[in-house]
Structure 1
Amino acid sequence: MNEIHAHLTTCAAEAARVTRGVTRDRLAGPSGCPDWTVRELANHLVLYTAHGLEHRALRTELPEETVRRDFTADADWPEQYAARLDRALAAWRKPEAWEGEVDIGGSGVPATEIAAMLLAELALHGWDLARSTGQEFTVPAATGARLLDVVERYAEMYRQYEGFAEPLAAAEDADAFTRALALSGRKA
């Protein structure tokens, strides 16, 4: 199995922990992501890092009702998110999930690269949610290094789609995770 799975598992556990720390009164407040409330950020995180992660492994489309759903409307949404993350990680444990390409808007992208991009989505938006709700999001050095590699490779593409802001400077002695945050336009 690809080593990305271990990093996905680490970030999924951290994202699930963060969502459990989001109180209902915080959902309507602003997030660190421009034009998004904490609720909108949380829904984006759940949709793309749990449902999207699973559907990409299975090579199936996200149902429209899932795309439009307010996951945070359910009182137990953090537990539902954690369970969906477990399903997604189980789907990526199958060897066939790593084979071939995943169709993205009519273009085939190698499955390993899709998983790497989803790692960035999970870590960066998990960090955004943590930061927006007064929490920390931490990863081991090896996961930070892998994330930095992914962000370096895809930063310009994400900027084209307004997923990343302009890069920020990071201290010379900053760890890899902090450098990945800065490169994605996030101030640690």
Structure 2
Amino acid sequence: MHPNFDLEPAATAMAAVVGAMADEQLTAPTPCTDTTVRDLLAHVIMLTEAFRQAATKEAVGRSVGPETVLPDDCEAWRGPADWDGATEAGGVSAPAVVMAMIALNETVVHSWDLALATGQRPAADPSHLAVLLEFLSDTPAEGTPGMFGSVVPVPDAAPELDRVIGLTGRDPGWTR
């Protein structure tokens, strides 16, 4: 596992994608089945708070609600305590380092989803892709219930981002 990786490049990439969106794109479809850009943005905002609370351990013993308002300080996964022990997000308990990898996966993959849905070029930090390829390497062919669908086969020689996307049940060739 890769403890203490920096989530900031993934968050910055997500912010750039969201910042480049136009209001009229909110109703556009995304690679997530039956999900519009607006729906996916709402999901991402909810996850932002859920994973912030996971880092601070505020979520242990309770799940974040779907109508979350982000606090002024959303910083998380920066201090050593954020990476230690067990935590919870969305009713799922896991070691904090695993929860951080799930947060990274959600950020990178949903940045890709939103970029493609809005006609942007998706990008991801190469070090994050290495972490995610290792993290997702044991994904069963049928996918991970509640997280993503069946693995989409992608050649080993394909770009790392395409391989990550395939492991999360998405077709790297998806177009809007």
Q: Sort the TM-score into its range (normalised by shorter chain).
A: 0.7 to 0.9
Shift of 1:159: 2.3
Is the alpha carbon distance of 1:108 and 1:33 closer, same or farther for their aligned partners in structure 2, counting shifts above 3 Å? closer
The alignment partner of 1:68 has SS state of: coil
Q: TM-score, normalised by structure 2?
A: 0.82
Pick closer, same or farther for the CA change 1:117–1:154 going to 2, 3 Å: farther
**Structure 1 ranges of 4+ moved more than 6 A:** none
- State the secondary structure of the residue aligned to 1:91: coil
- The residue that corresponds to 2:11 in the other structure is 12
Q: CA 1:130 to 1:100, structure 2 compared with 1: closer, same or farther past 3 Å?
A: same
Considering only aligned residues, what root-mean-square deviation do their CA atoms show, in Å? Answer: 2.6
Deviation of 1:119 (Å): 0.6
Matched, 1:97 2:82: yes
Task: Choose from 159, 163, 185 the match for 2:144.
Answer: 159
The SS at the match of 2:144 is: helix
The aligned residue for residue 125 of structure 1 is 110
| CA pair 33-106 structure 1, distance change in 2 beyond 3 A | closer
Q: Which amino acid aligns with 2:97?
A: T
Q: Which residue of 2 aligns with 1:57?
A: 55
Which of the pair is proportionally richer in helix? 1
Confirm or deny: 8 A CA contact 2:4 2:83 kept in the other structure.
no
Alignment of 1:130-149 (within 5 A): 130-149=115-134
Match of 1:28, SS state, is coil
TM-superposed deviation, 1:146: 0.9
- Residues 105, 125 of structure 1: alpha-carbon distance in 2 compared, 3 angstrom cutoff: closer
Which secondary structure state, in structure 2, belongs to the residue aligned with residue 181 of structure 1? helix
Residue of structure 2 equivalent to 1:76: none
Report if the CA contact (8 A) 1:4-1:116 is conserved. no
Aligned length: 168
Instruction: Mark the runs of 5 or more structure 1 residues left unpaired by the alignment.
Output: 72-79
Query: TM-score, length-normalised on structure 1?
Result: 0.77
Preserved contact between residue 54 and residue 89 of structure 2 (Cα < 8 Å): no
The amino acid across from 2:169 in the alignment is G
Match of 2:135 among 145, 150, 161: 150
Alpha-carbon distance between aligned partners in 2 of 1:110 and 1:56, rounded to the nearest angstrom: 10
1:43 match? 42
Tell me which amino acid in the other structure corresponds to 2:122.
F
Q: Single out whichever of 141-150 and 37-46 deviates more from structure 2.
A: 141-150
2:176 is the counterpart of 1:178 = no
